[in-house]
């Protein structure tokens, strides 16, 4: 169902957008692009050490994960990600 916005709603939206744009400060980018080593150093400084999920041996095969779960008597964590195009008619 599509609801046609009223002129008051459109005016309110434009005021919000213009207010956000007016309040935004222009932030200048770096004078030069950082190289690979500088980026890696910056990313590593933000990375927390000894995070538990990084120690997990993640499996890409469900059957391998089930075998490992049973062998170690540990729960199975199942992560499902579906990347479908917007115009996909299957779902």
Q: Report whether pLDDT(70) > 90.
A: yes
SS3 content of the chain, % helix, strand, coil (to 5): 45, 0, 55
pLDDT per residue as tens digits for the range 20-66: 555 555 566 667 888 899 999 998 898 888 888 788 778 888 899 99
Q: Report the alpha-carbon distance of residue 49 to residue 55 in Å, rounded.
A: 11
- For 48, which DSSP code? P
Residue 35 in tokens: 């190289």
Q: Report whether pLDDT(10) > 80.
A: no
**Top-confidence residue, 3 or 89:** 89
**pTM higher than 0.85 for the full model?**
no
Q: Report the alpha-carbon distance of residue 47 to residue 40 in Å, rounded.
A: 11
């Amino acid at each position: 169902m599509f609801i046609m916005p009223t002129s008051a709603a459109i005016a309110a939206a434009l005021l919000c957008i213009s207010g956000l744009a007016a309040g935004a400060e222009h932030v200048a980018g770096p004078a030069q692009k950082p190289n690979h080593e500088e980026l890696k150093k910056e990313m590593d400084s933000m990375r927390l050490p000894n995070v538990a999920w990084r120690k997990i041996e993640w499996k890409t095969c469900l059957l391998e994960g089930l075998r490992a779960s049973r062998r170690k008597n540990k729960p199975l964590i199942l992560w499902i990600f579906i990347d479908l195009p917007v115009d996909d008619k299957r779902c």
